[in-house]
């Protein structure tokens, strides 16, 4: 891949995730970490991206990345994760679906199932709103139009009144120590409230998010019951999660 093409792909990946590690970029683009570091140095100097510890992020005044654009990244990996996650859901369950393009794909696979879905994601609502088999509970809150999500005090208050069998949680990335991270400040309190409302927490993360980075930690690996990801995810990161008892399912 020519440098100019590689730079374009790096920018797309970073804008789709907020913050991406050097290792994740190298794995996605099939080049060495040293090549990625040189690329990031060049892009940072041009003001296109900003370097962060271990990776890169969007420049501070960058526009948020639209949901539709994020949905075009790692499509096959996300679909395999969604398929494996759907197998965990039993008929009659109450499930919480976090925001994200992978959880939206999971919602599509729950169509026709006798389940109750609670969500703050309008993308999930779009997948299930016309399905008479699924009972759909939509959390209130302030609308983040760009990412089709509901956030804020009303969302968190509603979650304190609800209980679900399991939560399917999205993430910007999982750190080498197993911490689940996110890059959007207003989403983190909602994610934490979802964890408190669920009997089981299942993290959905394609292999490009291992190891990953983010601006804020959502939870430690000890609070995650199951991680569903792809073959080829960074083994060191998976081992850090497994050491505290997290079940790893590879799709």
Domain boundaries, the chain: 3-58, 71-250
Residue 173 binned pLDDT confidence (cut-offs 50, 70, 90): very high
Query: Which tokens go with 243?
Result: 């050491």
What's the rounded mean pLDDT across residues 124-147? 94
Percent of the chain with pLDDT over 90: 65
For the stretch 66-77, pLDDT in tens is 787 788 888 999
Q: Is the pLDDT of residue 105 over 90?
A: yes
Domain 71-250: give its CATH code. 3.40.50.10470
Q: What is the dihedral of CA 237, 201, 139, 150, to 10 degrees?
A: 0
- DSSP, collapsed to helix, strand or coil, labels residue 205 as coil
Predicted local distance difference test score (pLDDT) of residue 62: 41
Q: What is the model's pLDDT at position 60?
A: 52
The per-residue pLDDT for 127 is 97
| Alpha-carbon span 58 to 64, nearest angstrom | 9
Which one of 2-11, 15-24, 202-211 scores highest in mean pLDDT? 202-211
3-58 and 71-250: identical CATH topology: no
Nearest to 187 by CA among 146, 220, 225: 146
Helix (H, G, I), strand (E, B) or coil at 34: helix
Per DSSP, which regions of the chain are E strands? 19-21, 49-52, 55-58, 94-97, 116-119, 135-138, 142-144, 149-151, 166-169, 173-174, 180-182, 201-204, 216-219, 226-229, 247-250
Domain 3-58: which CATH number of 3.40.50.1970, 3.30.420.340, 3.10.450.50, 1.10.10.10? 1.10.10.10
Least confident interval from 2-11, 35-44, 89-98:
2-11
């Amino acid at each position: 891949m020519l440098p100019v093409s590689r730079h374009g792909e790096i920018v797309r990946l970073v804008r789709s995730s907020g913050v991406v590690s050097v290792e994740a970029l190298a794995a996605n683009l099939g080049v060495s970490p040293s090549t990625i570091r040189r690329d990031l140095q060049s892009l940072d100097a041009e003001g296109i991206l900003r370097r962060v510890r271990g990776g890169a992020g969007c420049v501070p005044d960058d526009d948020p990345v639209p949901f539709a654009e994020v949905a075009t990244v790692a499509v096959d990996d996300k679909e395999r994760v969604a398929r494996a996650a759907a197998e965990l859901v039993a008929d009659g369950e109450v499930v919480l679906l976090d925001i994200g393009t992978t959880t939206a794909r999971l919602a599509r696979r729950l169509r026709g199932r006798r389940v109750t879905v609670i969500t703050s994601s309008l993308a999930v609502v779009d997948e299930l709103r016309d399905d008479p088999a699924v009972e759909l509970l939509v959390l209130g809150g302030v609308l983040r139009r760009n990412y089709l999500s509901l956030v804020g005090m009303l969302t968190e208050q509603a979650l304190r009144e609800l209980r679900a069998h399991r939560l399917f949680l999205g993430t910007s990335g999982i750190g080498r120590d197993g911490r689940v991270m996110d890059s959007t400040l207003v989403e983190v309190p909602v994610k934490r409230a979802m964890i408190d409302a669920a009997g089981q927490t299942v993290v959905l993360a394609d292999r490009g998010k291992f190891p990953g980075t983010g601006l804020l930690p959502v939870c430690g690996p000890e609070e995650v019951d199951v991680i569903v990801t792809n073959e080829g995810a960074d083994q060191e990161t998976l081992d850090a999660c497994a050491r505290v008892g997290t079940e790893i399912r590879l799709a």
